[in-house]
Structure 1
Amino acid sequence: MDNTRPLYNQDIRSFLLWVPNWIGDVVLTLPVIQSLRRAYPMAQISVVAKSPSDELLLGHPAINTVLTLPSGLENGFWQKVKFARNLKKFNFDVGVLFPNSFGSAFFLSLTGVKFRLGYDTDARGFLLTHPVATTSHLKKSQYRVEYYFKILSSLKLGAPDASFAKLTSQEGDATARKILLDMGLDEDEEFLALHPGTSKVERGWHVERFEILCQKLIEDGIRVVLVGTEKESELLNRIRKSGKPDMIKIIPPVNLRVLAKLLRKSRLFIGNDSGMMHLAAMVGVPILGIFGPGNSKTSGPYIEMKKQEVVTKNFSCSPCKQKFFKECK
């Protein structure tokens, strides 16, 4: 590759994309990745992602390879260094950093990728060949899809895709029909998906209010299917026990690709500001999103306005860092 030519005029054959940690943020990078694929249809696009986001990306048609970043207590700094250095053998042309952290830029630099794109944040500009300027205001106020798309400005792409590509099933994936039947539901039976959990406790609507909501929905003859992670099983079972067993069901543990298929079957998704909300938006389900200290203007569902409704209380101090006892007075 010729360093004297602008990046958009280079013969780029491979990309290494380093995506964020949270599922919701990963979903919001997909319209950008799809736009990159449209501009470079023959390029090899590889993505570095943590589990369980890697499950979702494995089924995305714009992505060739998913590389799972070591995580968890058993995988510390040196394991990640080894992982990054092992990627040198692929000789990637362009690396893209969606996270703002210094650590992600450091690990990307170890991969030997020739051109490295990302925001000039966290004192990491010297690790990037194409740093992108931003401000603290934009970091807090710009919608995430637009924020991520700007990272690729040196490639002069058109615009992020307006919708999500359909995921493809992988070998071993259970069908939505089988799981619904195992849950006691017919394949075409109408239901509402509800997610009472969230990545941070402070973001969540109180569980008692979800219980009351479920009871009211059941009174109107609406069947409710609860969505959540294995860590949220206690919360889900508490809500299930608050209503009629035949009217409240829980989706069993499945990977994110299969969960997306199940969500597509629902008539409506109600839930907190979370990755599950973004997963539902990704498959086109109408969204009723409950936002507490978060900001729907920056991280609301990426779906047409007529299919979303955001419920929030705009206090003068909103949004906040969700450290209530330190911030609130």
Structure 2
Amino acid sequence: MGAEVQLRRGARLLVRLPNWVGDVLFCTPSLAALRRARPDLRVTALVRPSVLPAVEGLPLVDEVLTLAGTTPGRTLAEARRLRGLGFDAALVFPKGFREALLVRLAGIPERVGMATDRRGALLTRPVPFTREDWRLHHVIQFARVLGPLGVALEGEGMTFPIGPADREAVTTLLRECGVSGPYAVFHAGASKPPRAWHPDRFAEVARGLSGRAGLRVVLVGTAAESALCEEVRSGAPEAVNLAGLTSLKSMAALLEGASLFLGSDSGPMHLAAAAGAPVVAVFGPGAPGKTAPYVPAGRFRVVYTAHPCSPCRQAFWKECRPSPSGKPPCLEGVHPSSVLTACLEMLDRK
């Protein structure tokens, strides 16, 4: 990889973070390692507005800039803005060509990122990314960007900034919804519907947790997922539907106080892990080895049928036929009894 990047004391470092909340969370161990090894650096995070709540108030960065857009014109304007801020180096965590092009156009002297998407020439320190690296957990993949700075992970975990106002908002919301005792948080959605477990199976687990553990189930998600949450409630009427009623930060505060989180392979699953909730994650076509909750083994369970074709590229119905319910066979094979058992085991460990 060559000699380490030598940054002067107090150098200005731009950190381009990914475009999805889960991936931003996967980068926070790297940010923590960087802060530990080089507390003198002034770190500026560059993010899309959609992930801003994941970095606002994060003690691992000193400043946050938001991208105005990614069209060619916006990219040129952004490059001019960054050029005027005098950054000494940039760490580019996303693997795409456009992100590396931006820091090259900005004229930042040292540009570090993974040598992916034919962008090596745009970086001064392209980090090799092999097929073996591709199989690693995303947290470990992202941490490879630290290598040219001589920094490595030393057990750092994921972080999400939760403030007193976020906790107060959740306390008020739960009181208004009549939730006064211990609760579990369920997220029934996913970025692609075939990745999401059945709502009726979430309902069956909710009934089991209520009867056997005395937990009230709180359903979370976006406003667009409210109807899906109502499908869960149709089979578990005691559940409370908060879909669309929480911000990302108040959802994190809600998860912080939860006895358990249950969800599919999705952003809220990683948010739950970062907030400290015990996690049960249902995987179908995804890759648990790469995107399972990045927490100690005792704090999560993955329920996964591990079909021979899993994980796949998730080009749904081009590589497999859907089950009668419209789900891929790998997700169809995850039964409520297995998930309930995993949930009860996690509660016993708490």
Considering the TM-score relative to the shorter chain, is it more than 0.5? Answer: yes
| Match among 263, 268, 273 for residue 281 of structure 1 | 273
| Match among 26, 43, 47 for residue 28 of structure 1 | 26
Partners of 2:108 and 2:119 in 1: CA distance = 16
Partners of 1:56 and 1:9 in 2: CA distance = 27
- How far the C-alpha of 1:77 sits from its partner, in A, is 3.5
Deviation string, structure 1 residues 231-252 (Cα, Å, up to 9, x no partner): 212211222233224x434255
Partners of 2:207 and 2:95 in 1: CA distance = 42
292-301 or 160-169, which deviates more? 160-169
Corresponding residue SS for 1:32: helix
* CA shift in 2, pair 1:310/1:151, >3 Å: same
96-105 or 213-222, which deviates more? 213-222
Partners of 1:20 and 1:149 in 2: CA distance = 13
Partners of 1:191 and 1:5 in 2: CA distance = 52
* AA at the equivalent of 1:66: V
Corresponding residue SS for 1:325: coil
> Which aligned pairs between 1:209-224 and structure 2 lie closer than 5 A?
209-220=201-212, 221-224=214-217
* CA shift in 2, pair 1:87/1:254, >3 Å: farther
Report how many residues are paired.
Answer: 319
What is the match of residue 57 of structure 1?
55
Partners of 1:255 and 1:113 in 2: CA distance = 35
Is the counterpart of residue 297 in structure 1 residue 289 in structure 2? yes
* CA shift in 2, pair 1:164/1:325, >3 Å: closer
Q: Structure 1 regions of 5+ residues with no counterpart?
A: none
Partners of 1:134 and 1:325 in 2: CA distance = 30
| Match among 230, 236, 239 for residue 237 of structure 1 | 230
Corresponding residue SS for 2:317: helix
| Match among 85, 89, 99 for residue 90 of structure 1 | 85
* AA at the equivalent of 1:121: T
Corresponding residue SS for 2:84: helix
Corresponding residue SS for 2:161: coil
Is the counterpart of residue 151 in structure 1 residue 135 in structure 2? no
- How far the C-alpha of 1:211 sits from its partner, in A, is 2.5
Corresponding residue SS for 1:326: coil
CA contact (8 A) 1:8 1:155 kept: yes
TM-score (norm 2): 0.84
The percent identity for this pair of structures is 32
Is the counterpart of residue 142 in structure 1 residue 129 in structure 2? no
* AA at the equivalent of 1:204: A
75-84 or 87-96, which deviates more? 75-84
Q: Structure 2 regions of 5+ residues with no counterpart?
A: 322-350
* CA shift in 2, pair 1:88/1:167, >3 Å: same
> Which aligned pairs between 1:1-329 and structure 2 lie closer than 5 A?
6-8=4-6, 10-11=8-9, 13-71=11-69, 76-139=71-134, 141-165=135-159, 167-169=161-163, 175-186=169-180, 189-220=181-212, 221-245=214-238, 247-250=239-242, 252-328=244-320
Corresponding residue SS for 1:288: strand
Deviation string, structure 1 residues 203-222 (Cα, Å, up to 9, x no partner): 21122222322233334342
Partners of 2:288 and 2:101 in 1: CA distance = 31
- How far the C-alpha of 1:166 sits from its partner, in A, is 6.1
Deviation string, structure 1 residues 165-186 (Cα, Å, up to 9, x no partner): 4625287885332222222223
- How far the C-alpha of 1:44 sits from its partner, in A, is 1.5
Partners of 1:171 and 1:213 in 2: CA distance = 32
* AA at the equivalent of 1:40: R
Partners of 2:5 and 2:35 in 1: CA distance = 16
* AA at the equivalent of 2:312: C
Deviation string, structure 1 residues 16-61 (Cα, Å, up to 9, x no partner): 1111112111111001011111122132111112233111110211
* CA shift in 2, pair 1:249/1:172, >3 Å: closer
TM-score (norm 1): 0.89
CA contact (8 A) 1:36 1:157 kept: yes
Deviation string, structure 1 residues 116-148 (Cα, Å, up to 9, x no partner): 001111110110000011123422x11111111
Partners of 2:157 and 2:275 in 1: CA distance = 9
* AA at the equivalent of 1:315: H
